[in-house]
């Protein structure tokens, strides 16, 4: 019985063959450096992805969780294309200290702080800001939320082309989440311990 030799190229050309996307390929959308090379190396594209939702699970503030995003926020504000230069911080745990932010290079003229009365209002505000198309990044602090709302936020981030960052307590670690990236931040011996628990197009695991 004769066997036809079939080349790989022929197989790939066959319409019946469905190709899995090469997940490790650099995403077409721009990324913003995190300011830390070891973290950059672990993220697909080498930085925080735009037009997506990033979830940071953290129990107490003060571990440098905002600092992780500040270089990206500065870079996104300095971008010259389009008009998407606004930053919106929704329900931050304390007052953002203006001198610290301008010290880091944030353009305070395009920073909005929103103090909603309830979690529902916070989520609504985040959705509006993310999908508005004028925001470079939206940071949201929440105690808890359900899966359905996270999906809406992710969709809004994709429509508006903004980076959405959600800070939640660590107890939500084992809930499913549609976020593109999920990180856990805990106290460490010398520096805070950072672990990627979900990376679309990358490998999860602790960050050195």
Partner 1 sequence: MKSRTAKSRTADLFAADALPAPHARPHEAIPRAVPAQPSSRPRSNQLWYAVVFPEFNETQPQISLQRLCLHAQQFTSLVSIEMPNALLLEIKGSVKLFGSLGRLHADIDAVWRRLALKAHGAAAPSTLAALWLARAGRQVLLEDPALLAGHLAALPLACTSWDADRLRTLNAMGVRSVGELLRLPRAGVARRFEPATVLDLDIALARQAAPRRAFVPRERFRARRDLEMEIENVAYLETAVAPLIERCARFLRERQSGIQNLELRLRHRVGPATRVRLGLASSTGEQRRLTDVVAQKLSRLTLAAPVREVELISGSLQPFIETPLDAFSRVGGAGGRDTAPQLVERLRARLGEQTVYGVCSIAEHRPEAAWRRVHELRETTDRPAADHEMPRPVWLLGEPVQLCGPLLLEQGPERIESGWWDGKGIARDYYIAHQVQDSRQTRGARLWVFQERQSKCWYVHGVFA
Under the rule (CB under 8 A), what is the footprint of partner 1? 51, 60-67, 70, 81-84, 86, 92-103, 107-117, 121, 124-125, 128-129, 131-135, 159-161, 187-192
Q: How far is the CB of 84 from partner 1 (least distance, A)?
A: 6
Residue 192 · residue 185 · CB < 8 Å = yes
CA distance 84 to 77: 8
Q: How far is the CB of 19 from partner 1 (least distance, A)?
A: 27
Nearer to partner 1, 62 or 144 (CB): 62
Nearer to partner 1, 10 or 105 (CB): 105
Q: How far is the CB of 26 from partner 1 (least distance, A)?
A: 19
Q: Are strands 48-49 and 31-32 parallel, antiparallel or unpaired?
A: antiparallel
Q: How far is the CB of 154 from partner 1 (least distance, A)?
A: 14
CA distance 182 to 55: 5
CA distance 121 to 140: 12
3-state secondary structure of 3: coil
Nearer to partner 1, 136 or 150 (CB): 136
CA distance 30 to 57: 24
Q: How far is CA 113 from CA 47, 59, 175, in A?
A: 25, 22, 28
Nearer to partner 1, 44 or 69 (CB): 69
Q: How far is the CB of 150 from partner 1 (least distance, A)?
A: 19
Nearer to partner 1, 60 or 175 (CB): 60
Between 147-160 and 119-132, two packed helices, what is the crossing angle to 10 degrees?
20
């Amino acid at each position: 019985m004769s066997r036809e030799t079939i080349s790989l190229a022929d197989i790939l050309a066959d319409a019946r063959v469905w190709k899995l996307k090469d997940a490790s390929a650099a995403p077409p959308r721009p990324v913003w450096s995190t300011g830390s090379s070891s973290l950059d190396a672990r993220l697909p594209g080498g930085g925080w992805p735009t037009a997506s939702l990033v979830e940071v699970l953290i129990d107490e503030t003060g571990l440098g969780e905002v600092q992780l995003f500040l270089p990206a926020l500065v870079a996104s504000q300095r971008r010259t294309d389009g008009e998407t230069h606004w930053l919106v911080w929704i329900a931050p745990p304390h007052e953002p200290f203006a001198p610290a932010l301008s010290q880091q290079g944030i353009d305070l003229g395009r920073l909005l702080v929103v103090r909603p009365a309830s979690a529902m209002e916070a989520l609504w505000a985040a959705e509006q800001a993310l999908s508005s198309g004028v925001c470079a990044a939206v940071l949201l602090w929440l105690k808890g939320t359900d899966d359905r709302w996270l999906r809406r936020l992710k969709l809004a981030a994709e429509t508006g082309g903004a980076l959405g960052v959600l800070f939640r307590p660590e107890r939500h670690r084992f809930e499913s989440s549609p976020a593109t990236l999920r990180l856990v931040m805990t106290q460490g011996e010398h520096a805070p311990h950072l672990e990627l628990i979900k990376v679309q197009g990358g490998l999860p695991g602790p960050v050195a």
